[in-house]
Amino acid sequence: MRRIGGLIAFGLLGIMAANSAAAQQANSAIEEVQRRVVKIFGAGGVRGLHAYSTGFLISPEGHVATVWNHVLDPDTVTVILHDGRKFEGRVVGAEPQLQMAILKIEGEDLPHFELADAGSAGTGTRVLGFGNMYKVATGDEPVSVLQGVVAAKTRLRARRGAFEVPYDGEVYIVDAITNNPGTGGGVLTTRDGRLLAMIGKELRNSETNTWINYAIPVEGEFADIAEQIMTDRFRSSRDEVKRDEPENKYRAVDFGIVLVPDVLFRTPAYIDHVLPKSPAAEAGLRADDLMLFVDGELVQSCKELEAELGRMEEGDFVPLVVRRGDELVTVELEVPDRDE
Amino acid sequence: MFHRLIFVAVTLLAVLLTVQGAAFAEDAEVLDAERQRVDVMKRAATSVVAIFGSGGGGGGSGVLVTPDGYALTNFHVVQGAGIFMKCGLNDGVLYDAVLVGIDPTGDVAIIKLLGRDDFPAAPLGDSDTLRQGDAVFAMGNPFLLATDFHPTVTMGIVSGVHRYQYPSGTMLEYTDCIQTDASINPGNSGGPLFNMAGQVVGINGRISLDKRGRVNVGAGYAISINQIKHFMDHLRSGRVVDHATLGATVATSQDGAVLVSSILEDSAIYRRGLRLDDEIVSFAGRPIRSVNQFKNILGIYPKGWQLPLSFRREMDGEIETKEIVVRLEALHRASELSLDRKPRRPPRGRKPPRRDENDLDRKSEPKSKKKIPEHLARFFIKKSGFVNYYFNQLERDRAMQQLTSWGDFSGLLGRWDLAGKTAQGQEIKIVCSEMAVGMFIGETAYLQQLGDDQQLIDEPEGTGGLLAGLNHFRRLLTRGETGFSEFYYLGSMPLDGEGERVDIVFAELNAAQSQWYFSKQSGALLGFDFWISDDRDPCEVRFEELREFGGRSLPARWIVRHANKEFASFLLDSCKLAPSSKPADEPALQEANR
């Protein structure tokens, strides 16, 4: 019986020690996470588009997971590690459905998160959010850290501008204001620094129009796809050029659409001019229209537009949404016969 | 079998007990921590001030830092609030308060609550010990919710330290500040950020704003209390306090080094040897790895402070590292600093403001023109160049109090004969009158003619103007304030960069300036710096050993330095100070004149 008493006392001691050391632990957990978080600088800086975001290392040789957005438009972006070391990063793969892009920098033995170790957390779990909000950190300065709790784990219903966001999977909703300019691609962790999720882009709730603070869980699909991209086995749901598929049946020009020169990694799909008497001309498309949706699918670049149009079947009618000036215009295109 | 059953039962019981015991223990810990937090916040709340403009408009927060009522707030809270304002504490009482001093660049102001000498002041913490993740709480009056002056408390963590925030508007630069996710909103401005020991670690004043309106979006910024400690005495001087510049700017090179990108040739740092393209290694004891870090350090010190700087230069393939001590120069011209006038563009290529960063509650309402009630009127003296000259007089008299114990020099306008020996054993003789100051070191004579049309010179050469400085010394003792065109309390700083903290009294006469250093501890006059003009290094005189000469005290040992070199050190053994001036009776001076 005495032994049992001793056991109980030992247990109590352990718990008390753990409590008093909790604050200390949070500090060092933050330091550990910061070593794995990077600052990313790329395209933007105009019309309210910020030119910076956040990412996190997921391999010792320099794979970085980040949010798929306009910052990654150039061929290379600047990736700055926690210690101020500066690298060139290139996109090696992306899954826009999950808002995920994987960059690669040339490094070795880098501190990183093991994707396989990513955990999950229930409602009420205390969490930390890491991200370079408002670009307040440069060089070797650590990114901002916020505290909060998981308010809910639920399906995302959000929109960006006027558009529904394609991703409607599970997300963590947090009570801290984690989603700010620059925090996309940052991480949500537990208080002891365990990776939970990637902070997404700034989005609004599609019903209430309020800004939401959410993060996309790493465990599961995100980790699987990131792993596939790193091992070069991945084909995106929206890969721009699907070389191993049969060649596109149609090209934009078959519809009478001549796009602007495709010079960027993601050139917006602006119409340069419309061929006379083509289906496009008949549908009333004009030069300078920006193609937004093809058959209900968001197209974010010339390549994506070509890929979407390439899948059409002759005789179909394709609904399109284009932006003309400040207006959204819906038109319908008839898919021409291929063998003309 | 039976035994085994009992054993199992006992084990089960033990496990249950452990689990239950643990649950209780944890609850007690949590409850205890909570109780502790509540106590700390209860105590902290007594020191938090709700500030209202005299016209009843505007509003912000503040925090009491001394029992006699000095309280810190933001400059942008008092801007436009008038000299007198109303301040509520959580005892429900509304107090009168008066504006004391402002720091428009650092967005800090100090006010004094009136009517008590036992205000509940908050202790000041050390903001340099804060780390990311530390718990902190903000107190103040967001959205002016508390009509009973009970401050609102919001809690969060330190999201970042040593943050640099570009100037908003023309000044209001936040350097080396603390970033927190504790919710800070309009009305919180000027209020304290506390650590969990209830010590003030910062003054909340700014939030990041974007497209979501003027509310907190998770990033608030507090001016570090360590910065304010540097400026506290300056602020209490009733002046518009200025920040500093180095006279050089830096930029990051391709490989990440911080290099001098421009430098003014008439700056002190240029005279100390810094040149274009030199790499800054450390500044004020902190390593420099980014431009922000450099600006962070520069931003937390008042002008005039002396800081160590080390830099690296490649010369003929060899890398040379040098360490210098530099005296910081004024960031603004005097005309650019005032309480009400909209400041002009800061000089020397400051960056334009960023749109998305904003100070809170900036006001545009006109100054109240109400008549000041009589019982308050004595706390305000209007004088050009000062926010409130009343407080300058107060601090000046306090700082100089000890000087009166040297004796009464007021009638001694005649010839002064001082004599002694240098450390090398040479005879030294000094003669001062109203017309000139002369000096012999051994056989060599030096002279500085005085009078309005006389130019002040570096005499003896290499001292920076010791003789002209001696005239300031004489005027200080014989005439005090009336001996100079400007004479005021400046603030405090560590003597010579690393010595004890000294009060500074500033004097100016015909463009020549001097600063007088009084020990904050003992009140003793420890020395002075004298400038012939402001684009030259000063003559630095330090005193040791106060001795009695003819019933009056004077410093006996004088150490004279200029441009980081010691010129001489001498010990006076005789001082004769004559009561009236007789121009004919000056053979020594005439001798020196020849």
Residue B535 clears pLDDT 50, i.e. is over it: yes
Interface probe, candidates A78, A82, A147, A210, chain B, greatest B C-beta count within 10 A: A147
Domains of chain B, by residue range, sit at 1-45, 127-225, 244-330, 408-593
Q: Given this model, what pLDDT does residue B217 score? A: 87
- Joined tokens for residue B229: 């400690």
Q: Do both A150 and A282 map to the same domain?
A: no
Please check whether residue A10 lies inside any domain of the structure: no
| Per-residue pLDDT reduced to its tens digit, B78-87 | 987 889 999 9
Burial class of residue B125 (count of CB atoms within 10 Å of its CB; 0-12, 13-18, 19+): buried
Identify all chain B residues contacting A180, using CB atoms and an 8 Å cutoff.
208, 210, 217-219
Q: From chain A, which residues contact B within 8 Å (Cβ)?
A: 1, 4, 7-8, 11-12, 15-16, 19, 23, 26-27, 29-31, 34, 48, 84, 86, 128, 133-134, 136-147, 176-178, 180-181, 211
Helix (H) or strand (E) holding B154: strand B152-165
A186 and A70 both lie in a single domain: yes
Looking at chain B from residue 438 to 497, which residues have their Cβ under 8 Å from any Cβ of chain A? none
Scanning the structure block, which residue is given the tokens 């430098």? Answer: B263
Yes or no, beta carbons of A177 and B218 under 8 Å apart: yes
Q: Is residue A73 part of a domain?
A: yes
Q: Are residues A214 and A98 in the same domain?
A: yes
Beta bridge pairs of residue B416: B432, B577
Which of A230, A264, A295 is at the close of a domain?
A: A230
pLDDT at A210: 85
Q: Do A144 and B179 touch (CB under 8 A)?
A: yes
B476: pLDDT strictly greater than 70: yes
CA–CA separation, A55 vs A57, rounded Å? 7
Mean pLDDT score, B188-208? 95
The CA angle B138-B139-B144, to the nearest 5 degrees, is 125
Provide the β-strand partners of residue A241: none
Tell me the pLDDT tens digit for each residue of B454-464: 899 999 999 99
- What residues of A are in contact with residue B162 (Cβ under 8 Å)? 141
Same domain? For A163 and A210 the reply is: yes
List of residues 6+ apart from A178 with CB closer than 8 A: A129, A131, A146, A148, A186, A188, A199, A213, A214, A215, B218
- Enter the tokens of residue B489: 């309390």
Q: Which of A230, A262, A278 is the last residue of a domain?
A: A230
Question: Residue B84's beta-bridge partner residues?
Answer: B98
Residue with tokens 């000095």: B70
* Cross-chain Cβ contact B256/A139 below 8 Å: yes
Identify all chain A residues contacting B131, using CB atoms and an 8 Å cutoff: 27
User: Above 90 in pLDDT, residue B453?
Assistant: no
**Separation between Cα atoms, residue A199 and residue A129, nearest integer Å:** 8
Inter-chain contact A134–B133, Cβ cutoff 8 Å?
Answer: no
Average pLDDT estimate for B493-509: 94
Q: Does A293 lie in the same domain as A221?
A: no
Does residue A238 fall inside a structural domain? no
Q: Which of A48, A138, A211 sits opposite B290 (nearest CB)?
A: A138
Nearest CA in chain B to A136: B163
Closest C-alpha to B515, from B128, B142, B155, B237: B237
Q: Is the pLDDT of residue B486 over 70?
A: yes
Query: pLDDT-based confidence at B276, cuts 50/70/90?
Result: very high
Would you say B138 and B220 are in contact if contact means Cβ atoms under 8 Å apart?
Answer: yes
Does the fold of domain B244-330 match that of domain B127-225? no
Regarding whether A220 and A276 lie in a shared domain, the answer is no
Say yes or no: A103 and A224 in one domain. Answer: yes
CA distance A217 to A195: 9
Six-digit token string for B458: 């570096």
pLDDT digits (tens, 9 = 90+) for B333-373: 777 776 654 444 443 433 333 333 445 554 444 444 567 78
Mean pLDDT computed over B190-200: 97
d(CA B85, CA B76): 14
CATH of the domain at A167: 2.40.10.120
What's this model's pTM, rounded to 2 decimal places?
A: 0.80
Does A34 contact B14 at a Cβ distance shorter than 8 Å?
A: no
Residues A91 and A212 in one domain: yes
d(CA B25, CA B1): 36
Predicted confidence (pLDDT) per residue in B88-140, tens digit = 999 999 999 999 999 999 999 999 999 999 999 999 999 999 999 999 999 99
Strand partners of residue B554: B547
Q: Let me know if residue A185 belongs to a domain.
A: yes
Cis check: omega of the bond before A217, within 30 degrees of 0? no
Q: Nearest residue on chain B to A139, judged by CA atoms?
A: B290
Closest CA to B137 of B36, B227, B210: B36
pLDDT at B172: 64
pLDDT at residue number B355 = 36
- Least Cα separation, residue B39 to chain A (angstroms): 18
Of B14, B22, B217, the CB nearest to A177: B217
How many other C-beta atoms are found inside a 10 Å radius of the C-beta of residue B576?
Answer: 13
pLDDT at A238: 53
In a domain, A98, yes or no: yes
Q: What is the mean pLDDT of each run of 10 residues along chain A (340 residues)?
A: 48 44 76 96 77 95 94 91 93 90 95 95 96 89 95 86 75 94 95 96 85 94 93 66 55 87 82 88 89 84 85 80 86 74
- Count up the domains in chain A and report the number: 2
What CATH code is assigned to B408-593? 2.50.20
Residue B239 in contact with residue B392, Cβ under 8 Å? yes
Question: Three-state DSSP class for B421?
Answer: strand
Residue A240 lies in a domain: no
The answer for residues whose C-beta is within 8 angstroms of residue A2's C-beta and 6 or more apart is none
CATH 2.40.10.10 assigned to domain B127-225? The reply is: yes
Who wins on pLDDT, B207 or B399?
Answer: B399
Task: Reply yes or no on whether the pLDDT at B15 is more than 90.
Answer: no
pLDDT of amino acid B336: 76
DSSP A75: S
Q: Is residue A210 located within the same domain as residue A155?
A: yes
The verdict on A49 and A184 lying in the same domain is yes
Tens of pLDDT, residues B215-244: 888 999 999 999 999 999 999 999 999 999
Residues A200-218: pLDDT tens digits? 998 888 788 888 999 999 9
Mean per-residue pLDDT for B264-289? 92
Section B432-444 average pLDDT: 93
A17 within some domain: no
Q: From residue B44, how far is each of B93, B197, B222 by CA, in Å?
A: 17, 9, 17
Cβ proximity of B338 and B348 under 8 Å:
no
Sort out which chain B residues have CB atoms less than 8 A from A137's CB and list them.
160, 163
- What is the rounded CA–CA span in Å between residue B64 and residue B201? 13
Torsion sign, CA atoms B172, B177, B179, B185:
negative
Whether residue B194 has pLDDT greater than 90: yes
Domain that holds residue A35: 25-230
Q: Which two tokens stand for residue B545?
A: 């050993």
Mean pLDDT rounded to a whole number for chain B:
87
How far apart are the C-alpha atoms of B115 and B388, rounded to whole Å? 18
Same domain? A91 vs A226 = yes
Q: Say whether both A216 and A311 belong to one domain.
A: no
Please tell me the distance from the alpha carbon of residue A164 to that of residue A296, in angstroms, as a whole number: 10
Query: Any idea what the Cα angle at residue A325 is, between residues A324 and A328, rounded to 5°?
Result: 45
What are the φ and ψ backbone dihedral angles of B432, each rounded to 5 degrees? -120, 140
DSSP state of B122: P
CB-closest option in A23, A134, A141 to B356: A134
Q: Measured between CB atoms, does B37 come within 8 Å of chain A? A: no
CATH of B244-330 among 2.30.40.10, 2.30.42.10, 3.30.70.590, 3.90.480.10: 2.30.42.10
Check which CATH number belongs to the domain holding A314 and give it. Answer: 2.30.42.10
**What 8-state DSSP symbol labels residue B297?**
H
CB A263 within 8 A of CB A295: no
